[in-house]
């Protein structure tokens, strides 16, 4: 049986931390689907610069990813219900509470494991493994 994994995030300006996360998520099963967050749902940090379709298309082009899809605008559990995954891989710093997600899955009758991916560390001092750090560096050097 094919084991389906879901990863999710904003993916505004891609960097090796994203690749680390998505490769680790892909290794948790056989097929990796990635839900790309809508701007309206990115409310815990600055809104993304790039449009959602662009963010989806670039994530979709990554080798580890079978398919990237746009997230739902209002209810983040709708794509989960449709994809019916075996595993949800949360990113190392995602603000979502693991237990809150587990109980919502249970309430909706979705039988799915919730796992937390590890942190991708820079391979040298110059690497910027965060979209915010890349934007800060651009503003510092070109602003």
Ligand X SMILES: Nc1ncnc2c1ncn2[C@@H]1O[C@H](COP(=O)(O)OP(=O)(O)OP(=O)(O)O)[C@@H](O)[C@H]1O
Ligand Y SMILES: Cc1cc2nc3c(=O)[nH]c(=O)nc-3n(C[C@H](O)[C@H](O)[C@H](O)COP(=O)(O)O)c2cc1C
In the complex, the residues that contact ligand Y under the rule CB under 6 A are 8-10, 35, 37-38, 41-42, 71-72, 76, 79-80, 88, 90-91, 94, 96, 101
If one asks whether residue 20 binds ligand X (CB under 6 A), the answer comes out as: yes
Minimum CB separation of residue 63 from ligand X in Å reads: 16
Minimum CB separation of residue 109 from ligand X in Å reads: 25
- Of 3, 55, 50, give the one whose Cα is nearest residue 34: 55
Which one among 6, 21, 83, 105 touches ligand X, defined by CB under 6 A?
21
Query: How far apart are the C-alpha atoms of 96 and 83, rounded to whole Å?
Result: 20
Q: Which two tokens stand for residue 101?
A: 């997600």
If one asks whether residue 91 binds ligand X (CB under 6 A), the answer comes out as: yes
Q: Is 62 helix (H, G, I), strand (E, B) or coil?
A: coil
Integer-rounded Cα Rg, in Å, for the chain is 15
14 alpha carbon, distance to own chain's centre:
11
Q: Give the interface with ligand X as residue ranges (CB under 6 A).
A: 9-12, 17-18, 20-21, 45, 91-94, 117, 119-120, 129-132
């Amino acid at each position: 049986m094919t084991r389906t994994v879901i990863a999710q995030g904003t993916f505004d300006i891609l960097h090796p931390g994203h690749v680390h996360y998505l490769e680790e998520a892909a290794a948790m099963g056989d097929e990796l689907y990635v839900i790309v967050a809508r701007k309206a749902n990115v409310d815990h940090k600055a809104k993304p610069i790039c449009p959602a379709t662009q963010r989806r298309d670039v994530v979709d082009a990554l080798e580890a990813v079978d398919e990237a899809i746009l997230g739902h605008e209002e209810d983040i559990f709708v794509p989960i219900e449709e994809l019916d995954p075996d595993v949800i891989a949360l990113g190392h710093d995602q603000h979502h509470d693991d237990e809150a997600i587990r109980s919502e899955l249970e309430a909706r009758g979705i039988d799915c494991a919730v796992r937390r991916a590890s942190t991708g560390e820079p391979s040298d001092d110059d690497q910027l493994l965060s979209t915010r750090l890349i934007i800060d560096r651009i503003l510092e050097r070109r602003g």
